[in-house]
Structure formats: C-alpha cells, structure tokens
Structure 1
Amino acid sequence: MTEGTDPLAGRTIAVIGSGYMGGGIAQVLALAGARVRLADLDAATATADRDRLISEARRFADDGLFPAHAADTIADRVEASAGYEQAVDGADFVEEAVPEKIDIKHDVLRRVSAATAPDTVIGSNTSTILIGRIAEAVEHPERFLGVHFSNPAPFIPGVEVIAHAGTDPAILPGVCEIVRATGKQPALISDAEGFVLNRLQYALFSEASALVDEGIASAEDVDTVVRTTFGFRLPFFGPFAIADMAGLDVYKFCYESMQTRWPERFATPRALAEHVENGRLGTKSGGGFLDVPAERVPELVAYRNTAYVRMQQLLDELGPAPIRNEEKETDQ
C-alpha cells in the first residue's frame, strides 16, 4: 500500500476472530485508514492479540515490510472489543475470521448479524465452506458474502470475493472498494466448494502427491520443478495467459499424449478443444482464451522475458528459502 494515503479514513470495520488470519486482516485495514474493532471469545483474548499485532508490526517495519509508522498506526486504530456485539455495533463493514468449522461460524454469525443494522455488509474469510451454507445463520443473508484473504494476509495481494445465490449484487462494488483500499486485488467468484484458490491449489497438491507416491520424483524435486518452471511464470500470468502464449494446439497435443495412460484424468477440456477447432490457437493466431491483438504480441513477449529475468534477479538477491537441508546437499 502507498504510505501517506488513507483510503478507508472515517470507516469503522469490525474483525471477528483475532487470531492469525483475523489479526493480519485487521493490520491491513488499519494501515489503510480504517478504525478497526477486534473481537474474539472474550476481551482478554482480543486484547492479547491486539498487543501481538502491534509487536508484529514493529518487527515488520524493522524488516522493511511495513511502513515505519505501522506499529503506532495500528496501536491508534485497532481497538480490542469486549465482545462480538460491541465490536459490530455501528460498524460500516464486518469481516468474520473465526475457525474453519461450520458450527462455530454459525454460532458467531447468528450473534453478529442480530447485533448489526440490517444493511450492514458482513463478509466471511472462509477458505472452503460454501458461502450459501454459512449464510443460513445470517439474518438478512442478502448482505452476506465471502471475502477470502490469503495467508499471510498482510503480504498476499489476492482476495476472493464470493457471492452466494442470495447475495445482493449491489453490495459487491463496495466490498471490492474496501479490498482495493488495502492494496489488495479482488477477484469476483461464484459460490462453489473450494472456490478458485483452493480448488486449484489442492488439485496441484493431489497431483504432486501422486508423483511422489509413484516414485517419479521426491517431494524436494517436485517442489524444484514447480517453482523453477510453470510456477516461475505464475506471479505474472495466470493459466489461460500461459496457455495462449504456449499455443492451444500444443496444449491439446499434450493432453492427448497424457491420455494414452490417463484418458479420463487428462481428458481434453471442452473449451480448449473448441478453441483449437475454431482456429483460435492463442497469441500466434491473434486470439485464444484471452484476446491479445497481434500488434501487442511483441510487447507482451518483451514484458514476459523482462519479468522472468527480474524474477531470477530477485531470487538471487534473496537467496534460497531456509527449507532445504544444506548438510544433505553437501553430502551428495
């Protein structure tokens, strides 16, 4: 976020659940200018977590991850509330971030929704539970939706904004405005198990685990392949942009190759087959899943190449993550 700007100034936001995720959300909201009321099971828990957030902010500032004023700003703008009802009273927006158990969320949201004005928008930070199912406990469920920050909330820029079937579409722009004010990027998602983030993330993990189970590669080597090949592209391009640049006809051929062993597991996606049949092969044909005008393709390629070189320079500067066993690598 840009230091010196307060896009949420004058807004009061309640964060229900002061643990690791809720606390991180409270930090970014406060740094964006909001007055934040933090609540948990009791006042003592909320107070202890508020103190932790201030200490964390001081450490993050020392490390250059937060602005220098972060700890003082969070101390000034984050208040530990006596309880859920006190936190949400008069709040402009409520973000629920209690544990990922439907019974707990229902119990908390019954109390929260009963204590708020009927038009106060309430978001849930659930990562996998259907928003429509959680909404069963919310009074006036049309003002309820998912607002899913990722872990760690202060540093991951993407936020899933998830409307259930009964969500009033009119509330979506305002919620996206709050998300953008924290320096995050909202993505509008329909209600479905796992949403987008975890449906993709766990699909990758399942396939990675299968590779290890089959003896194809070790966990370490799978991680190496992911982070140094297609994972290297992902900070800049999503799967559709990557496919378009690779060539959709190439993708279709690769699916057909893998179908010789896994005909159902790697069945060619319908949309991919249709694009290829219609001659939409990606950037080389002027269009695929995304429409990139032919005259912009050289600019796109130049951006891509520069981005990858800069990414490698950053990784060289940071050095390897402190995960790998250096003694084991030396022995080998």
Structure 2
Amino acid sequence: MTENSSHPTIGSSSGAPGARKIAIVGSGYMGGGIAQVLALGGARVALSDVSAEVAQGNYDRLLVESDQFVSDGLFPAGSTEILKQNLWAAKDIEEAVADTDFIEEAVPEILAVKHQTLARISAAARPDAIIGSNTSTISIAELSAPVSNPERFLGVHFSNPSPFIPGVEIIPHAGTSAATVGAVRELVHAAGKQTAVVKDTTGFVLNRLQYALFHEAAQLVEQGIATADDVDTLVRTTFGFRLPFFGPFAIADMAGLDVYNFCYKSLQKEFPERFATPKVLSDLVEAGKLGTKTGAGFLNVPAERTPELIAYRNKAYVAMQKLLDELGPAPIG
C-alpha cells in the first residue's frame, strides 16, 4: 500500500445536499444488501445492473424487503422512507457512476465479467472516484488491470447478509493509496459497520479462516468420526459460542499459550504436518509470554485487568445463552 499524505473524504455522512454519492454495480442479493446499508447510512446510492429493468426490479424488491424488515423489528421504523429518499435505479452503469464518489462492483465471481464491468466503470467514472470490488476470492491486483488510476481501487468485501453482518474486509493491492483506504474505512464506518484491513492474498483472511474450519469439519465427517449434525452442535456450543465476543488470539491468551503449545504437541502425534506448532506461538511461549496470566501474549492484556476480562466473558456467555433460549433452535432440523 502506497503512502499518501492527502486524505480524501467521500462526501458527507448525511442524506442532505452534499451527501456521499455512491453507485452499486450489480443489484442482486449482495449488491442490493450493500445498497441498503449505505443508503440507510445517509448516502445517495444508485443501483445499476445488466439492464434498467433489472435494476428497477431490484430497487422495488429492496423496498419490499425493507418493509418486512421493519415489520420484523430488524430495521428501524422509517427505514423504507429513507431508502426511497436515498436509493434510485439507474438505466445503466454509465448513468449510475457519473459524478459518484465511490463505486462498489458486486457482479458475479467471474474474472472476465468483473474485468469487463470494471473497465466500463473506470471509463465512465470521475478519475478520482474510488472503486471497490466485493470479490471474496479474486486477487485485487489482478482485478485492478482495467482500472485507470489503480491507486483508487481496492477490495471492499461485505458478508452475506450484508445488512446484518457488521464486519467488512478491506483489501488494498500493492498500488492502492493509503488515502483511498482511509476514505473507504470512513465511508463504511459511517454506515455502522466495522472494518479490518488485510493484504491482497488468495482468499484474503475471512475465507481462509472460514474454509480452513470447513475443511477440517468435512474430514471429520468423511472419516466417520462425527456426523455433520454433531460437528455443527460442537462448534455452536463450545468454541464457536465464544466467537461473537473474542477472536482466536484473545481466546488463546485467556486459555494460556502454554496450554495451546502443549495441545499442538498432542495433535502432532497423529497429524504432524497439519498441526505443526505455529512459530509465532512457540516464540511467545519461549519468551515466557503466556497470555493474560502473564500480562503478555498476542494481545498483551495487563494482568491486573484479568478479573475484569473474566467478568465480562462470563456475563457475555450467559447473555448469549439467554438470547439463544429466547430465539429457540434454528429451523434446520
């Protein structure tokens, strides 16, 4: 990521004149959800697709969905009226991106289709307009090929369903300017989302983690060690139960990095390559940095804050169980 002392902003954060102008290219399930998020965040958002009819159809669908979400208590009252004010369907890509501050490409995960779409966006948009791609797997550097001024291009990866998942993965390629990254993070934060900036590598971070878990789970089922239902039950009710509150490094710090180090040695007896101890872990253990009990680990939580952390953890887990009891089991049985 290249450094840039300037820090462009993308319009204002209100729906009033001077609000951010955004275009979503690809108005289907993902693109439409992203449009809802940004429009409810105060931006003026154009929807575009392969035809004006498709864009208009998805615009109408998003309003119907919003009414249902309001009825179900998932969107605040008045959300549909905000969408009607801030969202509109363009006749084509060129009309959608004209004079916009930010464009999000959300077309199918086919490199040729994305290249063709990004070429049209780049040709029709302002030369300083920031362009993002919602790709979940394709190299951002590879996608940037048809984009003029590629320092303004990056990955902006929302998760499904985008109105309700709070995290967004921001992926600059080597030539993306720091100013571009900063401006996009501000835009996403203004819509109430959280961001993490990661490097442009195969699968980025979200999908490398997600598919690593799925790969191990699938092997357990294939080998007859557990059923798919039993694996899902264990994930939901044990380590997965912690994940809304703590990431893997915070969990390891609380468990004790020496404990993790020992468990890796046990796993290596059967799976020496797959469960080789990560060097970053063994280095910390060798340095006596064992997590919260020593006040230093991956996250360096001071030892004196451990009681506060444990109290939060226990409160969080009880609250999670109450929520699950209130919701009842998911209708997948």
Q: Number of aligned pairs?
A: 319
Structure 2 residue 66 is the aligned partner of structure 1 residue 57: yes
In 2, the alpha carbon distance for the partners of 1:192 and 1:253 equals 30
The residue aligned with 2:150 is 141
Match of 1:7 among 13, 18, 21: 13
In 2, the alpha carbon distance for the partners of 1:269 and 1:41 equals 47
Contact 2:13 2:20 in 1 (8 A): no
The residue aligned with 1:206 is 215
Structure 2 residue 266 is the aligned partner of structure 1 residue 264: no
In 2, the alpha carbon distance for the partners of 1:113 and 1:8 equals 26
Equivalent position amino acid for 1:91 in 2: T
Further displaced range: 47-56 or 27-36:
27-36
In 2, the alpha carbon distance for the partners of 1:199 and 1:228 equals 22
Query: Could you list the runs of 5+ residues in structure 1 that have no partner in the other structure?
Result: 1-5, 325-332
Contact 1:8 1:181 in 2 (8 A): no
- What whole-Å deviation, never above 9, does each CA across 1:164-193 have from its counterpart, x for those lacking one? 011111111110011111110010111011
The residue aligned with 2:287 is 278
Percent identity of equivalent pairs: 64
- What whole-Å deviation, never above 9, does each CA across 1:79-122 have from its counterpart, x for those lacking one? 10010011000001111111111111000000001111111100
The residue aligned with 2:32 is 23
In 2, the alpha carbon distance for the partners of 1:111 and 1:139 equals 11
The residue aligned with 1:223 is 232
- What whole-Å deviation, never above 9, does each CA across 1:34-56 have from its counterpart, x for those lacking one? 11000000100000000000000
Equivalent position amino acid for 2:193 in 1: K
Structure with more relative contact order (C-alpha pairs < 8 Å, separation 6 or more): 2
The residue aligned with 1:308 is 317
The residue aligned with 2:243 is 234
The residue aligned with 1:245 is 254
The residue aligned with 1:3 is none
Structure 2 residue 168 is the aligned partner of structure 1 residue 159: yes
Structure-2-length-normalised TM-score: 0.95
Equivalent position amino acid for 2:120 in 1: R
Equivalent position amino acid for 2:117 in 1: V
In 1, the alpha carbon distance for the partners of 2:289 and 2:13 equals 42
Equivalent position amino acid for 1:182 in 2: A
In 2, the alpha carbon distance for the partners of 1:82 and 1:278 equals 62
Cα RMSD (Å) of the superposition? Answer: 0.8
Match of 1:197 among 193, 198, 206: 206
In 1, the alpha carbon distance for the partners of 2:101 and 2:118 equals 16
CA offset at residue 8 of structure 1? Answer: 4.2
The residue aligned with 1:330 is none
Equivalent position amino acid for 1:24 in 2: G
Equivalent position amino acid for 2:250 in 1: A
The residue aligned with 2:3 is none
In 1, the alpha carbon distance for the partners of 2:182 and 2:149 equals 19
CA offset at residue 269 of structure 1? Answer: 0.2
In 2, the alpha carbon distance for the partners of 1:44 and 1:104 equals 20
Contact 1:61 1:67 in 2 (8 A): yes
**1:288 match: secondary structure:** coil
The residue aligned with 1:95 is 104
The residue aligned with 2:194 is 185
Equivalent position amino acid for 1:178 in 2: L
Further displaced range: 132-141 or 227-236:
132-141
In 2, the alpha carbon distance for the partners of 1:276 and 1:291 equals 13
Structure 2 residue 82 is the aligned partner of structure 1 residue 73: yes
- What whole-Å deviation, never above 9, does each CA across 1:262-315 have from its counterpart, x for those lacking one? 100000000000000000000011110011111111100100000000000000
**1:276 match: secondary structure:** helix
The residue aligned with 2:41 is 32
Query: Could you list the runs of 5+ residues in structure 2 that have no partner in the other structure?
Result: 1-11
Contact 2:171 2:199 in 1 (8 A): yes
**1:284 match: secondary structure:** coil
Equivalent position amino acid for 2:87 in 1: V
Contact 2:20 2:43 in 1 (8 A): yes
In 2, the alpha carbon distance for the partners of 1:11 and 1:257 equals 54
Contact 1:141 1:166 in 2 (8 A): yes
Equivalent position amino acid for 1:160 in 2: E
